[in-house]
Amino acid sequence: MPSQTIIIDCDPGIDDAVALLLALASPDELDLLAVTAVCGNVSLDLTERNARRVLALAARPEVPVYPGAGRPIMIAHHGATVHGDDGLGGVPLPEPASAPQQRGAVDYLLETLAGRPGEISLCCLGPLSNPGLATVQRPEILRSTRQVVLMGGAAGRGNVTPHAEFNFHVDPHAAQLVLRSGAEVVMLGLDVTRQAPITEARLRQLAAVETAAARAAHDMLAFYGQGDTALHDPCVIAYLLRPQLFSGRRCWVDVETLDEERFGQSRVQPVSPYGQRQANALVIDRVDADGLFELLCERLARLP
Ligand code: RIB
Ligand code: CA
């Protein structure tokens, strides 16, 4: 019986795809109920289709994929080039072996989270538009999660502007809604993901794993590493599987949505018992990167 029940909200995207493979390779620990797709790295029609291609690669076409927000809540969408035009670096993953769900991701999240209070860990790998929209409809809904574990933000430098990380920059209003939702938030920002660079040695480690999934992950990360050398999204899944690889501290986190220069910046302040502000997130700031890559290679070896 898997110890954790999860939903993965993502914008595949190469590192999202590798994170999905890591989760799909761990069925004894993670019961993946569904994938919800969001516009982010590339458009929603691509992120949704790419999620179904990854499921086909892992021979798990039964996992439903629900299409979500086709744009950020308040502002126009700006994608990323680092994942290539198709969002997967042009690596020839299989065609989808399943159809997309007709139902929207937000409706699915609202019903599923409300129906299983305290059970589900919502893993967010892209802009937070889907959970953000869910809180617009039902402000308390994210308190029904066991936790929201998200890749996003940065206490230090950003990667889209000097101040803002991509997922928070694409939809800062959604990020603010999630951080203010009252949910148990675990934030894995650039401060920790940048400690896991995709080095040549680690690519060679991956190349030695003789499964189609590992080969695809290697080829996608080799493409991705030309532009952004950090293994961002898989950190979220690795945190669920091996929390001992990570450490962090409770902080107060909010997102800049007014100042033009700092738009999308996450403001992170450690809190003390005597501080003015209550912590609203566990901000992860350390990872054992070698342990992370060993886990990734070991799990990709289990896939077809
Ligand atoms: O800043 C890194 C994040 O932005 C990752 O989730 C990557 O997939 C992109 O969405
Ligand atoms: Ca992502």
Domains of the chain: 4-300 (3.90.245.10)
pLDDT in tens, 83-109: 999 999 999 999 999 998 999 999 999
Active-site amino acid positions: 232
285 C-beta closer than 6 A to ligand 1: no
Q: How big is the CA angle at 226 (ends 222 and 228), to the nearest 5 degrees?
A: 100
CA atoms within 13 A on the CB side of 186: 23
| 8 A C-beta contact, residue 68 and residue 43 | no
Whole-number pLDDT of residue 275:
66
Mean pLDDT of the chain: 96
Whole-number pLDDT of residue 1:
75
Handedness of CA 246, 248, 250, 254 (dihedral sign): negative
pLDDT in tens, 1-23: 778 999 999 999 999 999 999 99
Which parts of the chain register pLDDT below 70? 273, 275-276
167 C-beta closer than 6 A to ligand 1: yes
Please state the φ and ψ torsions of residue 60, each to the nearest 5 degrees. -130, 55
Distance (angstroms) between ligand 2 centre and the Cα of 10 equals 6
Distance (angstroms) between ligand 2 centre and the Cα of 158 equals 15
Whole-number pLDDT of residue 66:
98
- Give the global pTM: 0.97
- Residue 66's contacts (CB-CB under 8 Å, 6 or more residues apart) are 34, 35, 36, 37, 100, 101, 103, 104, 105, 108
213 C-beta closer than 6 A to ligand 1: no
